[in-house]
């Protein structure tokens, strides 16, 4: 079966609207606090929609938020039915992941080139910028896909990076950018700054939802994100085009492209910013970007995300794309692993379901999570469950915890490990103790003191599930008030 793919953000928004997963706000709204408040509200709803503001006071363009902010939208991004369970979305992503690399099509004409500005740049004329959370240090661009190259090998496609970094507006043509040392762009900046050279970048805003998804996925430094975009489009390459000032490749359908460079050896006050752990980051001295060229589509749409106390849009955006790389890495050495749920606070909490080869295997799987490249700094609490437990179904996970764990032998705490500095419980920032809970059923040579016989579902229950769902749908179609 061929899954639906999207040319660009607009194509996806049309599908969201047709599926009842987008609402338009036509009345004029104040930029603050309305856009942030609507982003919070949409995330509070079960299967909340994208929210498109058509009339923002004082601005020309429109703003869309919560585009990735529900499991229904996430499934539609993958071209799947909007009711697809999370575990099935995980399995489908894992299947497509193995198609990497699928090279993008390089085109010579694209919608993102419809308009071009190189003088008197004022991004407020193009983007309806706004404060997301009350004590953010300014107006932030929270969902851009930023393209940059390795300074030593600017033509090396594999090392060309597409990443999402928080961006603070610091002038009509000046931005702050958070390039942490362990980010790919941080590595590129370090190489360039040693030689006092700028890092050319292209900040692309409003993309095919798979581009945005991959830009926020942790992959290896020499794995190009566009190669994964094609893989996750189930083998269908995406269109890219050369930037105006450099050979950086940008998504052809981007709404707005800000080209420029990171100034070498410059740091100015940035933040605070309401961050993914649900709290504000501190204010720090961070790098600055000068914008030298802007290209944009006619009537550009500013796509931005709200992030607040989890769950909000960022938690959906950083959910399965944190799970898949961890799953792929753990599976290499532990093929019994069935699924990895690393979608709590970007993988700080992880639940793994696995077959158990021999006694103590659950703990070994937990230790492997904590030694993966992402798990080492981020993951703090690891729960390991049996292979028949769906790690995305928290009721099932709680069942495993309550019926399989003997705390005296199944819980382990490992002191003084690497930690994620943005986790407020990390002490000192960047260090952490780790917790493994082995909630798998004991097998030999571990002492199996009490045999248990699991309840099995009655024969034919799958058919009954379908029958009941079909009856419900038919009932709702006949009487929309019930829907």
Question: Among all residues, which ones are annotated catalytic?
Answer: 275
The nearest distance, CB 186 to another protein, in angstroms, is 5
Tell me if 328 sits within 8 A of 348, measured CB to CB. no
The nearest distance, CB 266 to another protein, in angstroms, is 9
Nearer to another protein, 172 or 473 (CB): 172
Which token pair is 456? 């099995």
Single out the residue of 416, 437, 442 nearest to residue 428, CA to CA: 416
Single out the residue of 49, 48, 52, 39 nearest to residue 10, CA to CA: 52
How many degrees, rounded to 5, is the angle at CA 10 between CA 171 and CA 22?
Answer: 95
Rounded Cα distance between 368 and 288, Å, is: 38
Q: Determine the 3-state secondary structure of 221 from DSSP.
A: coil
Tell me if 242 sits within 8 A of 255, measured CB to CB. no
Rounded Cα distance between 323 and 217, Å, is: 10
Nearer to another protein, 2 or 195 (CB): 195
The nearest distance, CB 43 to another protein, in angstroms, is 22
Query: 199-205 and 256-262 as β-strands: parallel, antiparallel, unpaired?
Result: antiparallel
Which token pair is 261? 């460079």
Rounded Cα distance between 36 and 30, Å, is: 11
Length of the chain measured in residues = 483
Nearer to another protein, 98 or 120 (CB): 120
The nearest distance, CB 19 to another protein, in angstroms, is 32
Contacts with another protein by CB under 8 A lie at: 30-33, 57-60, 122, 124-125, 131, 134-135, 137-139, 168-172, 176, 178-181, 186, 189-190, 193-196, 265, 267-270, 272, 280, 283-287
The gap between the terminal CA atoms of the chain, to the nearest Å, is 29
Q: Determine the 3-state secondary structure of 309 from DSSP.
A: coil
Rounded Cα distance between 132 and 178, Å, is: 17
* Locus of tokens 């099995």: 456
Nearer to another protein, 88 or 125 (CB): 125
The nearest distance, CB 53 to another protein, in angstroms, is 14
The nearest distance, CB 74 to another protein, in angstroms, is 31
């Amino acid at each position: 079966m061929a899954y639906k793919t999207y040319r660009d953000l607009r194509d996806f928004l049309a599908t969201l609207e047709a599926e009842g997963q987008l609402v338009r706000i036509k009345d004029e709204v104040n930029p603050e606090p309305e856009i942030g408040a609507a982003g919070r509200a949409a995330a509070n709803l079960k299967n909340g929609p994208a929210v498109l503001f058509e009339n923002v006071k004082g601005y020309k363009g429109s703003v869309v938020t919560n585009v990735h902010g529900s499991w229904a939208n996430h499934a539609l991004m993958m071209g799947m039915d909007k009711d697809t369970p999370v575990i099935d979305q995980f399995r489908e992503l894992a299947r497509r992941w193995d198609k990497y690399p699928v090279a993008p099509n390089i085109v010579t004409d694209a919608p993102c080139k419809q308009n071009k500005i190189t003088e008197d740049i004022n991004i407020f004329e193009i983007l309806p910028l706004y404060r997301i959370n009350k004590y953010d240090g300014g107006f932030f661009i929270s969902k851009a896909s930023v393209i940059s190259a390795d300074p030593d090998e600017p033509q090396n496609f594999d090392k060309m990076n597409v990443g999402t970094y928080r961006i603070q507006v610091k002038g009509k043509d000046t931005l702050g950018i958070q390039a942490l040392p362990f980010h790919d762009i941080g590595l590129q900046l370090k190489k360039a700054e040693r030689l006092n050279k700028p890092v050319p970048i292209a900040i692309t805003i409003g993309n095919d939802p798979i581009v945005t998804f991959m830009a926020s996925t942790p992959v290896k430094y020499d794995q190009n994100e566009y190669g994964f975009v094609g893989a996750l489009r189930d083998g269908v390459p995406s269109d890219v085009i050369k930037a105006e000032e450099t050979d950086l490749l940008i998504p052809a359908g981007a709404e707005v492209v800000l080209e420029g460079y990171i100034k070498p050896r410059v740091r100015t006050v940035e933040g605070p910013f309401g961050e993914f752990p649900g709290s504000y980051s501190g204010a720090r001295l961070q790098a600055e970007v000068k914008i030298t060229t802007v290209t944009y589509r006619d009537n550009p749409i500013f796509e931005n995300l709200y992030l607040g106390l989890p769950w909000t849009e960022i938690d959906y955006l950083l959910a399965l794309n944190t799970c898949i790389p961890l799953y792929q890495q753990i599976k290499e050495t532990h093929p019994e692993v069935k699924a990895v749920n690393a979608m709590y606070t970007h993988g700080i909490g992880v639940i793994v379901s696995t077959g158990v080869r021999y006694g103590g295997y659950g703990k070994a799987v937990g230790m492997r999570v904590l030694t993966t490249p992402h798990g080492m700094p981020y993951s703090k609490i690891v729960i390991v469950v049996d292979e028949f437990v769906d790690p995305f179904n928290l009721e099932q996970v709680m069942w495993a915890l309550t019926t399989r764990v003997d705390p005296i032998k199944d819980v382990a705490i490992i002191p003084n490990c690497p930690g994620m500095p943005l986790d407020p419980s990390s002490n000192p920032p960047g260090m952490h103790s780790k917790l493994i809970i082995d909630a798998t059923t004991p097998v030999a040579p571990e002492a199996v003191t009490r045999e248990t016989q699991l309840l099995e579902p009655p024969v034919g229950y799958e058919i009954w599930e379908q029958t009941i769902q079909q009856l419900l749908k038919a009932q709702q179609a006949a009487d929309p008030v019930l829907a």
